[in-house]
Structure 1
Amino acid sequence: MSAPSSETERTDQPAKSDGFIRGLAQAIGGPVGEHATSPAARRGRFWTAPRIIMALVCMTLAFSWVQKSPCQDGDWQKNIQYTRFCYTDVLALYYAEGLNEGKVPYVDHAVEYPVVTGYFMGALGLPVHALGVRYPEINQGKWFYNANALVLSVLAVASAAVLLALRRRRPWDAAIFALSPILLVTATVNWDFLAIGFAMFGLYAWARRWPILAGLLLGLGGAAKLWPLFILGPLFVLALRSRRVQAFLLALAGAIFAWAATNLPIAIFYRTSWNRFFELNDTRPVDWGTFWYIGRFLDAKWNSGAVGDQGPFQWLSDHIPTLNHLSYALTILACAAIGLLCLLAPRRPRLSQIAFLVVAVFLIFSKVWSQQYVLWLLPLIVLARPRWGAIIAWTVAEIGYFTAFYAELLGSGGKPVIPEGTFVLASTLRLVTVAVLVGLVVREIWRPELDIVRETYDEDPDGGTFNDSPDADWTIRLRRRLNIEKTPAPSFPPPLVEAEQH
């Protein structure tokens, strides 16, 4: 069989490759036929897969704006922000951070977020305040929320575009992101799409073999929310395996430069304000719905009859510095295990697989897991394991937690709305489904023949310069010594014969 003449001739059809979608497709007549997917049938068609995806993500974000609309005027009487599930930090913090009084972030008020998020808040908040001073009749909070919602939605659309660019042969993978209820309910809860946008463009820059630009973007993302910097870890381990350490060092230098350039002005001239983010993270107690929250609840149940007796999770909740150290230690150990998996896997893992695992284990062991943090995982799981079934199960658990969390907030000031055990159950299901996704990604790294992305791409579509190099000799010897690899590793790029077999 001759090699395909273009990428579009190898475009994945989910109704054929994904078991869950194939089962659903049977209800409407089965998968699309060969004639409908032929180049001749596609020629001249306006509604191509990428355009459909972009329309779907715009539709989801429009519904998200409608879903948050009851809260936009800031008149949160009778807990409307919880009963309508429309709470957003964006509006609440416009007042809490003094933006409505014209206070400059970090200069006049110690903002609780990293500096790029603070800069963004000021860039939109101060003009809105000035407009409100000139036109007192306008609702400043509403204008601020809508300005933020517009920019954050643009970043969400841009993230969908990056997913499409990274998976040109698998455009329907991006539909998982575009249609996600997670996107609908959390897109504008906070400013997380700032970091997500930088991280996604950083991954795209790496895939295009621009390591310095990739590092700059990841550094800017890390200056908005810390987690994009975690992607440097997977880049480092894959660089070791592929003998591309120089490219990693260029990315690392770019990340350090971007992070330092955005942080140093505040760290030098407004040190107390700059420290606020780090101090808050050090002193914050156990947050709603985390692994530690669940453990504390179980401790209380098991020790309910023992006077003065505490379980380990209860004790940790009263000793936050020790909890911090334990949380960091568990995360580091998990990341070390992921690094070892990356080096020992029979075939070099894909970058997005390792990135997803690192961010997921950080959330699993963190003492803080805010409702919008789920957005961090959404684009990464689309790139790492775009199978609808497990992602839908995880989404159901996340939406279940979302509703239980608001019910818990409603009852926090008085009569409980739901039993505490119900909220803990919802938290546990969320935690378990994330852990299941981690396990499924690990399985596909260890057994790459199960990886659906590799059925479409010979190499890692996110790998960039990693794809130009065979594995380092020492990693091959290590796997042979452990009887993981008894034959020479495949060369990169693959031979023409292998490409033709696809």
Structure 2
Amino acid sequence: MSTQPSTDRPDVPSATSDGFVRGLSQFIGGPLGSHATRPDARPGRFWTAPRIIMALTCLILAFSWVQKSPCMSGDWQKNVQYTRFCYTDVLALYYAEGLSDGAVPYVDHQVEYPVVTGYFMGALGLPVHWYGVNHPDINQGSWFYNVNALVLSLFAVITVAVILALRRRRPWDAAIFALSPIILVTATVNWDFLAIGLAAIGLLLWVRKHPIAAGVLLGLGGAAKLWPLFILGPLLIIALRSGRLTPWFQAMAGAVVAWGVANFPVWYWQHEAWLRFFRLNSERPIDWGTLWYIGRYLDGKWSSSGGGPFQWLSDHVPTLNWVTYALFGLACVGLLVLGLLAPQPPRLAQLAFLVVAFFLIFSKVWSQQYVLWLVPLIVLARPKWGAILAWTVAEIGYFAAFYAELIGAGGKPVIPEGTFVLASTLRLVTVAVLCGLVIREIWRPELDVVRQTYGGADPDAGPAEGPDDGWVQRLRSSFGVGAPSPSPVVVPPEPPSVVKV
């Protein structure tokens, strides 16, 4: 009888490639041995890795609810929403968007969000208002927040379930998401988990080889927040590498139809209300914490007249818009070149993380909750704890500095402006470092721990899986980047998973 460990059993971070976790394991006796009996692998054991991670996710979301509880009454006196770090758009916009008066989104009030988010707000807000009219003793704002927190938490649980389903051989990767302080403090700041959950399901459907359904979910996600539509670009790159473009066209068609169907009622019957989101984003000035904000601050420090290129762009918003579009477009072109010339077809998750990160880096708006977009993508793209924890520290530091800046904007300075700019810079730099690390692993696939687990293959390729198409091989040869990549290694079937999505 062989004494070799089964190749089917899930990856254990302390025993394989995660140096950070392996180092921490020294405090409890060192990494798990190659012949050890895993506690979560015993027959009949209830607390398997996926169930532990799902429970941790629910626990963190419960703590997030508690963390926001000082703001639930809506009585935000003496900047309590900032001093307790409990501000949430969900509660504030219940009143600002007219839901507290029974206003129907887009019909009675021009909501500032894409239509699926507006539909979601109305679907939860109008029943709360109706119930509050008949029960005047309840706090409508608190009820609205709690109902939203419950549904958004469900989307967060769906997201971690998708991560587990996509990484059955690496279930502990999902713990990076489940235990993230970012989830704790930003899960219900806005409605971002609606789009994240839809996009996650879309990715899972792509992997399960349902490209049309995947496109529909990405299209609906894009109608809630724009960024899920960016994932169509990475899907195109991996389809180009394998020459299997039909599934991409199917996904693209599904996304276009779903986005169009979701938008059509508001576009047709409430056109001005539909335009508000696009006009608002076109007219918005440089937002706090962005690359452009940092540059404008440095302009003021380095220029005796207080002027400079960033200040000029701040004063000419239409030009700034085109500059941000151009930089993001160039970054996408660079991603296409990288994707076609890399030694092996890049993994979908790597490309998806990069395209969303590039958008945030060059955007003139980078709201605090946008960080949630990156958390599941980096878990799938590069599940190494060390770099992610460094980025998380920078994000939490920015979160605290941002609230201090908000208090200062009200006339009570808390920190010097330079401190906030430093926190913004650290956030920007750590995201850029993560991008660099992902790019390095695309160019040097032997460093990619996910590929190591899956025998060199991309577990997310779905219907685009396959060796390089002939024209890609010729293109790579013409650039002198080495021999064509080998066909993906056939790996054993996935082990059973308790997570069903």
The TM-score with structure 2 as length reference comes to: 0.95
Counterpart CA distance in 1 for 2:401 and 2:125 is 32
Aligned position for 2:460: 462
1:416-438 superposed Cα distances (whole Å, 9 cap, x missing partner): 11000000000000000000000
The question of whether the paired residues in 1 share the 8 Å contact of 2:212 and 2:254 is answered with: yes
Q: 1:397 to 1:146 in 2, by over 3 A?
A: same
Q: How many residue pairs were aligned?
A: 490
Alignment partner of 2:468 out of 446, 468, 471: 471
Counterpart CA distance in 2 for 1:12 and 1:29 is 15
1:104-155 superposed Cα distances (whole Å, 9 cap, x missing partner): 0000000000000000000000000000100000000000000000000010
Counterpart CA distance in 2 for 1:338 and 1:20 is 29
1:151-174 superposed Cα distances (whole Å, 9 cap, x missing partner): 000100110000000000000000
Aligned position for 1:330: 327
Matches within 5 A, 1:430-449: 430-449=427-446
The question of whether the paired residues in 1 share the 8 Å contact of 2:40 and 2:48 is answered with: no
Coordinate RMSD, CA, aligned? 1.7
The question of whether the paired residues in 2 share the 8 Å contact of 1:195 and 1:228 is answered with: yes
Q: 1:54 to 1:213 in 2, by over 3 A?
A: same
Alignment partner of 1:482 out of 479, 482, 487: 479
Q: 1:485 to 1:286 in 2, by over 3 A?
A: same
**Residue 493 of structure 1: how far off its partner (Å):** 5.2
Aligned position for 1:500: none
**Residue 46 of structure 1: how far off its partner (Å):** 1.3
1:320-362 superposed Cα distances (whole Å, 9 cap, x missing partner): 0000000000000001100100000000000000000000000
Aligned position for 1:180: 180
Counterpart CA distance in 1 for 2:119 and 2:338 is 38
Counterpart CA distance in 1 for 2:282 and 2:201 is 30
Alignment partner of 2:344 out of 347, 351, 355: 347
Matches within 5 A, 1:138-287: 138-287=138-287
Aligned position for 2:29: 29
Q: 1:326 to 1:387 in 2, by over 3 A?
A: same
The question of whether the paired residues in 2 share the 8 Å contact of 1:7 and 1:169 is answered with: no
Which letter maps to 2:207?
Answer: A
Q: 1:318 to 1:389 in 2, by over 3 A?
A: same
Aligned position for 1:499: none
The question of whether the paired residues in 1 share the 8 Å contact of 2:15 and 2:32 is answered with: yes
Counterpart CA distance in 2 for 1:178 and 1:476 is 40
1:471-493 superposed Cα distances (whole Å, 9 cap, x missing partner): 1111111111222123x431245
Aligned position for 1:85: 85
Counterpart CA distance in 1 for 2:32 and 2:19 is 14
**Residue 7 of structure 1: how far off its partner (Å):** 6.8
Partner SS state of residue 17, structure 1: coil
Counterpart CA distance in 2 for 1:41 and 1:114 is 45
Matches within 5 A, 1:303-314: 303=303, 305-306=304-305, 310-314=307-311
1:1-35 superposed Cα distances (whole Å, 9 cap, x missing partner): 99x99774253434432000000000111112345
Counterpart CA distance in 2 for 1:120 and 1:7 is 44
The question of whether the paired residues in 1 share the 8 Å contact of 2:12 and 2:32 is answered with: no
The question of whether the paired residues in 2 share the 8 Å contact of 1:156 and 1:193 is answered with: yes
Aligned position for 2:367: 370
Aligned position for 1:491: 487
Aligned position for 1:121: 121
1:401 aligns with 2:385: no
